[in-house]
Amino acid sequence: MQLEGNIPGAGWGKVGISGEAISSVEITGPEKSGLPCLSPGFIDIQINGFAGVDFSSADLTVDKSLSVLPALWSTGATTICPTLITNTLPAIARNFEILEQARAKNPDFAYAVPCYHLEGPYLSPLDSHGAHNPKWMRHPNWEEFQELQQAAGGRIGIVTIAPELPGAGEFTRKARAAGVVVALSHTDGNPEDVHHVAAAGATLNTHLGNGCPAKLHRHKAPFWGQLADDRLGASLICDGFHLPPDVVKIIVAVKGIDKCILVTDAVHVALLPPGKYSLVGTDIELLPSGQVVRADRVAMAGSALTMNRGLAVFIKFSQRSLAQAIQASTANPARLLGRGGVCSHLAAGQPANLVLFRAESDTLKIQRVISQGKCVYSA
């Protein structure tokens, strides 16, 4: 199989595929205006649910888990990290077990899901809790995390914690030694808390600019430590609601494009009609504008974003190039995960996970998606 298209930042390219891998990449000339673009499949390291399926729901089943794949492929995503949010420990363990059963049942799902993201319950119950339920929050505990890791088949690859919680530093050291990425968010701490846990091995800020107090102290807000600490990369939700253009520009300018990762933070209402829904017992609403909020309108509750739209918003807000937006949704998260089967860039030997699309002002219009060397979506 061979695909042709504009490879942003490189030129017009021909990509050969043999089996499940890219066999060749040839640049034959400059980019051709108006013709489709070709890139690695998008990687979403924070997705709570999609197309009616909530990965944290008590009614999650194997079949529901598997049903998200076609919808995700249609948005250009070929690799995802299903994200479980704050809940009771038995509920979290149960749903990791369901996801593991889904991986065992369907090789395509197993391939698309190299690991999981645990966002909570080790978060702040104060102002920054967002849509997470404070009654289930607790201090980081390595022994109980290991129990969750066992339920997840050892595949919790990212854990998001609040750095000010007692034991956060020691938990981080143990997690990093075990190969787990530690990220920081939903914090009401201070910059010193952030630096302490970064020194212990944390490497990422989950949805930087969100998961923090609504009113920031001019000098002592955790956001400043998260922004300033060069050991920490940043994931960004570019849906037009979570971050305004100025904040996106500042984060990218300070962190540099190499440390920025685009995520959706999508919940199950993504691709569903506007209306009232529930998220792990919290009433939420998908507004006609596309914003997802708690029913009390005090905080947002994830998003209804898709990766192909997130890239377009990122380009508009950050004023960076399409090539840089692709890097932030492919090479950068692939490097963070460090897992097999994830295509980071177009090169011989890389997994054949590809997306062919047309770049428009408000979205990337997906035309064809390749996963494991086979076409899984065609517009």
CA distances from 272 to 280, 286, 367 (A): 17, 8, 21
pLDDT in tens, 177-210: 999 999 999 999 999 999 999 999 999 999 999 9
What does the pLDDT read at residue 217?
84
What does the pLDDT read at residue 218?
86
What does the pLDDT read at residue 129?
85
What does the pLDDT read at residue 110?
97
Q: What is the pTM of this model?
A: 0.96
pLDDT in tens, 56-107: 999 999 999 999 999 999 999 999 999 999 999 999 999 999 999 999 999 9
**SS3 label, residue 21:** strand
Residue 296: how many CB atoms within 10 A of its CB? 10
> Residue 360 and residue 367: Cα distance in Å, rounded?
13
Q: Burial-class residue 120 by CB neighbours within 10 Å (0-12, 13-18, 19+).
A: buried
What does the pLDDT read at residue 215?
79
Fold that domain 42-341 belongs to in CATH: TIM Barrel (3.20.20)
**SS3 label, residue 85:** strand
What does the pLDDT read at residue 375?
98
373 in the Ramachandran plot: left (φ > 0), alpha (ψ -120 to 50) or beta?
A: left
pLDDT by residue, tens only, the chain of 379 residues: 999 999 999 999 999 999 999 999 999 999 999 999 999 999 999 999 999 999 999 999 999 999 999 999 999 999 999 999 999 999 999 999 999 999 999 999 999 999 999 999 999 999 888 888 999 999 999 999 999 999 999 999 999 999 999 999 999 999 999 999 999 999 999 999 999 999 999 999 999 999 888 878 888 889 999 999 999 999 999 999 999 999 999 999 999 999 999 999 999 999 999 999 999 989 999 999 999 999 988 888 999 999 999 999 999 999 999 999 999 999 999 999 999 889 999 999 999 999 999 999 899 999 999 999 999 999 9
Angle formed by the axes of helices 245-255 and 307-318, nearest 10°: 80
- Residues 6 or more apart whose CB falls under 8 angstroms from that of 246 comprise none
